[in-house]
Amino acid sequence: MNHFDIYKAQSKAWSILSRSYKNKRVASTYIFHGREGLGQWPLALSFAALLNCESPKETDDDRHPFYPCGQCRNCRNIFSLNFEGLNIIVPIGPHKKHSEAIDLTNEFLEIKRAEPLARQSSAKPLSIPIDMAREVKKSLSRLSTEGITRVVLFYRMEKMLASSADALLKLIEEPPSDTVIILTAERPEALLPTVQSRAQLIRMERVPVEVMVDYLQNNYDLDAKKAQLLARISEGLPGFALDMTAGFEDEESSSRTVGFLLFKSLLIDSGPKVVSLLTEMVNDRDHSEAEELLRLWQSLIRDSAYFAVTDDSDGLVNVDFVPELKKLSRFFNNAKVAETMTADIKNTLADFRVNVHIQAALVALVLQLKKRLKSGPA
């Protein structure tokens, strides 16, 4: 497996961490904030590796003066999550016994070992259990092995109940020596003000398209076209792109996934960008492919419009895209928008029957639909 290039993906964040290491001004607590799946996990591991690397690589680059070597025993142990000085606490589902909590944690670590960018998905509510937090606190009260900088990662700290966070406050207020605490959170405001004020905030940025294309092609066996499409539609969020790769497993679901991504692009991107994606992805000589796409769009519009008025997902056609459709429903708060868009698509489908130029018709349609979208409040 190729490594995700976290140094390029989160160049600013790495610059802060790498320079703090160089200047020997490493903070005792960091908050990596931003949407899950932007690379918080690999960033935390790379930093843990740098802090413990036996032969860190020094460069002439002022922005990134240091990297972990990735080869020494400590680096390897950290990246494989088998390092004595690395403690990771993640949100888990409901459980009764402590042993179950450990099993659930290990299950998630296994997923992260295989794919460090994977997002947590669960129908059940997730939370960071107090007993796991306490255990870490206890283990940190012991002296660390000489030469080791302990790193504690609280992943998705907003999932920690307030009562458990209270128990950790002391740890953050008076961190043990040779210990760095990393908290990840979507929004730092979701954390206790005392925690926020004692931590250095590091904002995760959208990941550049080329970094994602590289990773998707090398690790997910996607052709260049699909990798490009996914990377460009995912709004810089690798976690989203990875969730969607499952949709490329067979040919049928693959054309649905492409159709959905183009629909999403229609809603969120500028007209010229949608047009360029469409002309890349849709075969200009095959009516049936374009027709299939437009029929899918019609049903996606219907489902999104449906979500604009209800939270209930019964009666939806495109169940495979439910979480995404929910988010996109905001474009259809005005019922008129869905209505006029559906009518426009119907007209284009009728045009296909009289043999118009496929791409020209699609381009005209997209521009028309963008106008309709502008007329409704987003």
Instruction: Report the 10 Å Cβ neighbour count for 220.
Output: 16
Interface region with Zn ion, contact rule CB under 5 A, candidates 52-60, 187-195, 212-220, 232-240:
52-60
Positions in 319-348 near Zn ion (CB under 5 A) = none
Any idea what the Cα angle at residue 214 is, between residues 210 and 216, rounded to 5°?
A: 115
Question: Whole-number minimum distance, CB 54 to Zn ion, in Å?
Answer: 5
Q: Is the Cβ of residue 78 or residue 128 nearer to Zn ion in the bound state? A: 78
Separation between Cα atoms, residue 180 and residue 126, nearest integer Å: 25
Measuring CA to CA, which residue among 308, 287, 255, 289 is closest to residue 355? 287
| Choice from 9, 38, 53, 345 touching Zn ion (CB under 5 A) | 53
Q: Is the Cβ of residue 78 or residue 133 nearer to Zn ion in the bound state? A: 78
Does residue 251 contact residue 222 with C-beta atoms inside 8 Å? no
Question: Whole-number minimum distance, CB 70 to Zn ion, in Å?
Answer: 6
Interface region with Zn ion, contact rule CB under 5 A, candidates 15-23, 63-71, 172-180, 191-199:
63-71
Separation between Cα atoms, residue 351 and residue 356, nearest integer Å: 6
- Reduced to 3 states (helix: H, G, I; strand: E, B; else coil), residue 184 is strand
Q: Is the Cβ of residue 56 or residue 239 nearer to Zn ion in the bound state? A: 56
Question: Whole-number minimum distance, CB 80 to Zn ion, in Å?
Answer: 13
Separation between Cα atoms, residue 214 and residue 42, nearest integer Å: 16
Interface region with Zn ion, contact rule CB under 5 A, candidates 16-24, 74-82, 144-152, 177-185:
74-82
Interface region with Zn ion, contact rule CB under 5 A, candidates 62-70, 183-191, 309-317, 326-334:
62-70
For residue 69, state whether it binds Zn ion (rule: CB under 5 A).
yes
Matching residue, tokens 């008129």: 336
Measuring CA to CA, which residue among 141, 185, 173, 151 is closest to residue 75? 151
Measuring CA to CA, which residue among 272, 274, 266, 277 is closest to residue 226? 277
Question: Whole-number minimum distance, CB 10 to Zn ion, in Å?
Answer: 19
- The residues, ordered by sequence, that sit 6+ positions from 55 with a Cβ below 8 Å of its Cβ are 69, 72
Q: How far is CA 294 from the centre of its chain?
A: 28
Q: Is the Cβ of residue 69 or residue 109 nearer to Zn ion in the bound state? A: 69
For residue 72, state whether it binds Zn ion (rule: CB under 5 A).
yes
Q: Is the Cβ of residue 78 or residue 171 nearer to Zn ion in the bound state? A: 78
Instruction: Report the 10 Å Cβ neighbour count for 173.
Output: 12
Separation between Cα atoms, residue 250 and residue 262, nearest integer Å: 18
Does residue 28 contact residue 200 with C-beta atoms inside 8 Å? no
For residue 48, state whether it binds Zn ion (rule: CB under 5 A).
no
| Choice from 13, 75, 104, 181 touching Zn ion (CB under 5 A) | 75
Q: Is the Cβ of residue 75 or residue 213 nearer to Zn ion in the bound state? A: 75
Interface region with Zn ion, contact rule CB under 5 A, candidates 2-10, 64-72, 336-344, 360-368:
64-72
Q: Which tokens go with 358? A: 């496929």
Interface region with Zn ion, contact rule CB under 5 A, candidates 72-80, 141-149, 307-315, 353-361:
72-80
Question: Whole-number minimum distance, CB 146 to Zn ion, in Å?
Answer: 17
Q: Is the Cβ of residue 56 or residue 116 nearer to Zn ion in the bound state? A: 56
The rounded radius of gyration (Å) of the Cα atoms in the chain is 24
Helix intervals (H) in 60-153: 73-79, 98-114, 130-141
Interface region with Zn ion, contact rule CB under 5 A, candidates 71-79, 240-248, 284-292, 335-343:
71-79
Q: Is the Cβ of residue 78 or residue 233 nearer to Zn ion in the bound state? A: 78
Question: Whole-number minimum distance, CB 48 to Zn ion, in Å?
Answer: 11
- The site for Zn ion, by CB under 5 A, has a size of 5
Question: Whole-number minimum distance, CB 72 to Zn ion, in Å?
Answer: 3
- The residues, ordered by sequence, that sit 6+ positions from 210 with a Cβ below 8 Å of its Cβ are 231
Measuring CA to CA, which residue among 10, 12, 32, 9 is closest to residue 180? 32
Q: Is the Cβ of residue 69 or residue 201 nearer to Zn ion in the bound state? A: 69
- Residues lying near Zn ion in the complex (CB under 5 A) are found at 53, 68-69, 72, 75
